[in-house]
């Protein structure tokens, strides 16, 4: 077969646009490409390999004769993913709709690639913050085991979509000019502010975003007793999520051993030289597919503790790139 028949749902959104870019950059074998979105976006044009494609409204009929349906996230997944599955397409879904479904694999290719083999037509892409965290955790987990993880995130507004990016831009401009700009996407001003609240509040006053990081990580590692706690914070930057991660390991490991492990890990770049003031920052990761790791040091408060700071582009590795990598795994394992 020379290529695959693809459908990208949500093609006009931030993640959908990145999916198209990643498919093009990785020279994915495409025989045909259908781009879909809501009725509001139908008729718009998107670019792919120098060609203009007309966006169609997503309908049940959109998945006829489609091999792979890439859902960029949002309400369309609940409405159309199973319809696409019924018509024979393999669905890779970026929404939270299927992530904790026991019959749906939740896959990060650097962590649990073999899980794609158990798919029944739908594969879930984890939450962006989860992906960014588990990629550097995996080598440490394999080497010495992980007993507990404490993570605090610093999440860019692009995680909320294109409207949030525009809100930060316009709100910053207004405030710098001494004007007002009422919040529309967020409950409070995001420009020059931090909001320790992402998604709705749930059990124990943790937000849904925080519980996603707990439950999804446990599922990816197949360890539902792994102790994980998270605090997720929205910060006023446009792109790339950062995370401060504290790990309690089962057995002792030194910071240098962690650096050595991560330096040889797929999808990871270690940037860690305190004397030269080298450490990961969001500007390093923009439009990159790797997870950057630095500030690797011993936790001075416990025997087997490691601290590190992690940064990645959540629109790329945290969403679009991970989804395309999943499809590449399906081809590698001949699971299509």
Q: Is 222 a catalytic residue?
A: no
User: Which pair of tokens denotes residue 226?
Assistant: 């792994």
User: Which pair of tokens denotes residue 67?
Assistant: 């091999």
Which residues, in sequence order, are bridge partners of residue 236?
A: none
With contact defined as beta carbons under 8 Å apart, do 212 and 125 qualify?
A: no
Q: Is the dihedral of CA 208, 141, 22, 91 positive or negative?
A: negative
With contact defined as beta carbons under 8 Å apart, do 322 and 131 qualify?
A: yes
- Tokens 């080497």 sit on residue: 143
CA 242 to chain centre: 12
CA distances from 327 to 6, 36, 213, 304, 324 (A): 11, 19, 23, 37, 5
Identified catalytic residue from 7, 128, 222, 224: 128
Helices H / strands E in the chain, number of each: 8, 14
Who's near 50: CB < 8 A, 6+ residues apart? none
- Distance in angstroms between the alpha carbons of the first and the last residue of the chain: 12
Residue 110: count of CB within 10 angstroms of its CB: 20
Q: H or E stretch including 77?
A: helix 76-86
Residue 106: Cβ-neighbour burial (10 angstroms; 0-12, 13-18, 19+):
buried
Q: Is 241 a catalytic residue?
A: yes
Identified catalytic residue from 7, 36, 240, 241: 241
Residues that are catalytic = 128, 241
């Amino acid at each position: 077969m020379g290529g695959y028949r693809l459908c990208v749902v949500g093609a006009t959104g931030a993640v959908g646009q990145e999916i198209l870019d990643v498919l093009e950059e990785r020279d994915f074998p495409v025989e045909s490409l259908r781009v879909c979105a809501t009725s509001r976006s139908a008729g718009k044009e998107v670019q792919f390999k120098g060609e203009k494609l007309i966006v169609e409204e997503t309908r049940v009929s959109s998945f006829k004769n489609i091999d792979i349906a890439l859902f960029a996230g949002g309400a369309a997944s609940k409405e159309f993913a199973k319809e696409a599955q019924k018509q024979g397409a393999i669905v890779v879904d970026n929404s939270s709709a299927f992530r904790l479904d026991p019959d749906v694999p939740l896959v990060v290719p650097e962590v649990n690639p073999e899980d794609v083999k158990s798919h029944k037509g739908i594969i879930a892409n984890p939450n962006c913050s989860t992906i960014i965290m588990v990629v550097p955790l995996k080598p440490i987990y394999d080497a010495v085991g992980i007993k507990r993880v404490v993570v605090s995130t610093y999440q860019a507004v692009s995680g909320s979509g294109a409207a949030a990016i525009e809100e930060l831009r316009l709100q910053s401009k207004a405030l710098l000019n001494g004007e007002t700009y009422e919040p529309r996407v967020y409950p409070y001003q995001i420009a020059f502010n931090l909001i320790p609240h992402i998604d709705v509040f749930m059990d124990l006053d943790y937000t849904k975003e925080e519980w996603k990081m707990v439950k999804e990580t446990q599922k990816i590692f197949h360890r539902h007793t792994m102790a994980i706690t998270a605090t997720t914070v929205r910060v006023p930057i446009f792109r790339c999520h950062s995370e401060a991660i504290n790990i309690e390991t089962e057995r002792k490991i030194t910071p240098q051993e962690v650096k050595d492990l991560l330096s040889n890990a797929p999808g990871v770049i270690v940037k860690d030289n305190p004397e030269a003031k080298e450490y990961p920052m969001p500007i390093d990761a923009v439009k990159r597919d790797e997870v950057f790791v630095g500030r690797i040091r011993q936790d001075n408060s416990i025997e087997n503790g490691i601290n590190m700071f992690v940064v990645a582009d959540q629109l790329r590795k945290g969403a679009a790139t991970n989804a395309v990598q999943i499809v590449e795994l399906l081809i590698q394992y001949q699971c299509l």
